[in-house]
Amino acid sequence: MPNTKLRRLVATSIAVTLCGTALAACGSSDDKSSSESGPASLTYWSWTPGMDKVADLWNKGPGKQQKITVTVKKQASGDTLVTKILTAHKAKKAPDLVQAEYQALPTLVSNDALADIAGESKDAKSKFADGVWQQTTLGSDAVYAIPQDIGPMMFYYRQDLFKKYGLTVPTTWEQFAETARALKKKAPDKDLTTFSANDSGLFAGLAQQAGAKWWTASGDKWKVGIDDAATEKVADFWGGLVKEGAIDNQPMYTPSWNKALNTGKQIAWVSAVWAPGTLTTAAPDTKGKWAMAPLPQWDGGTDVTGSWGGSSTAVTTDSQHKVAAAKFATWLNTDPQAVAALAKEGGIYPAATTAQTSDAFSEPPAFFSNQADFYPKAAEIAKTTAPSAWGPNVNVAYTTFKDAFGAAAKDKSDFTAALKKMQDDTVADLKKQGFGVAQ
């Protein structure tokens, strides 16, 4: 393993106690950036719609006063953008700022592509829920990004059909299973929901809610716990429901899945705060018939949710204006005017807690006009977001999930075996990349 990569790994340990004195040597803002002065022209790579309009607010206001100009360059999202950032960084030509999904941060940090902006963002922490802020620190004293948007998970259900079949909204996963079985008895042609393997983020969020820690650091090594007890519990639960036929096993986002939602063949969906937008397209005939509730809990006495989606704004190590870039990143995701513009222009659900109860969210989504308290309820749920634990090869884990769990769901076979495959492939890839792996 290259020494630089090893130092970055130690610096970004998921456990704070593992960072120690190594942190100062491998992730803090350098002296050069702290002495910046004069005008700065910054470039920001982002996929959020309308981000250029939000940047214009900065350029005409705070940016003009501070002589800091930001130019937005639209990019693709996901792994495509991560690869582009790493390629640019290898040539020392990465932009000043990048939009990065939370699960991509460890990959970018382990490649020394993101700067630690802890010194420039110390006042931002109080604006976010602890579980959200933790995703940008990776559990260390460093800060590698400012949270931008989040995807707290929730339970969506057809109010009219729950009433028709005498079903109660489940508050625990045990009740969820009972509800699925009860529906099957009353209406064999309908399903409560489906288990889908074509979006890894759903399963990751469910495991997160259960307390999973897929990647943690042990000394100077990564420890992979994808097959930990929490995740195995989640896999066994969903695998059992699929095997007995209590729920469907078809993937999401297909014409067949859309039809099932639109016709009432599937009457509920475990999703996230952004679900109204998807339902608007997938099930247009059901407008005003859905309602949102908190995610069912494993323990009736707890109140916790997982995350499905979300991104942050990070400053790269290639930037010659790290302080200026950190100022913009902080403004973009904490200033009331900026966050309101992000919600309006980009359609995002902001990570900043105060923004979640702003005027921008005073009315429910049009598709949920029947639920006036949609956003107040969403804000309360968002506060319960569990900490996550991402590592440097999330893409490998996610790819294996789609293949292994996709086959298991289709065949109604053992989800535990699919989980072990996910674990083994992730560990093997870390070793192949040159990372130390703890047993």
Q: What percent of the chain has pLDDT over 70?
A: 92
Q: How far are the Cα atoms of 92, 114, 177, 224, 237 from residue 197, in angstroms, in the given order?
A: 37, 31, 19, 21, 15
What value does the mean pLDDT of the chain take? 90
Using the predicted structure, report yes or no on whether residue 16 has a pLDDT greater than 50.
no
Higher pLDDT, 360 or 93: 93
Most confident of 137-141, 345-349, 424-428: 424-428
Q: How far are the Cα atoms of 204, 241, 389 from residue 268, in angstroms, in the given order?
A: 19, 15, 28
DSSP-derived secondary structure for 329-386: HHHHHH-HHHHHHHHHHH---BSSTGGGGSGGGSS--GGGTT-TTHHHHHHHHHTTBP
Using the predicted structure, report yes or no on whether residue 356 has a pLDDT greater than 90.
yes
Q: What is the Cα–Cα distance from 236 to 265, expressed in whole angstroms?
A: 24
pLDDT class for 302, splitting at 50, 70, 90?
Answer: confident
Residue environment code for 349-368, b if the CB has 16+ CB neighbours within 10 A, otherwise e = bbbbbebbebebbeebbebb
Least confident of 125-134, 282-291, 314-323: 125-134
**153 and 295 Cβ atoms separated by less than 8 Å:** yes
Both tokens assigned to 81 = 């953008």
The C-alpha R_g of the chain, in whole angstroms, comes to 22
pLDDT tens profile 37-79 = 679 999 999 999 999 999 999 999 999 999 999 999 999 888 8
Both tokens assigned to 165 = 């079949």
Using the predicted structure, report yes or no on whether residue 436 has a pLDDT greater than 90.
yes
pLDDT tens profile 242-273 = 999 999 999 999 999 999 999 999 999 999 99
**390 and 102 Cβ atoms separated by less than 8 Å:** yes
Q: What is the Cα–Cα distance from 73 to 66, expressed in whole angstroms?
A: 21
Amino acid (1-letter code) at residue 63: G
Both tokens assigned to 125 = 């922490």
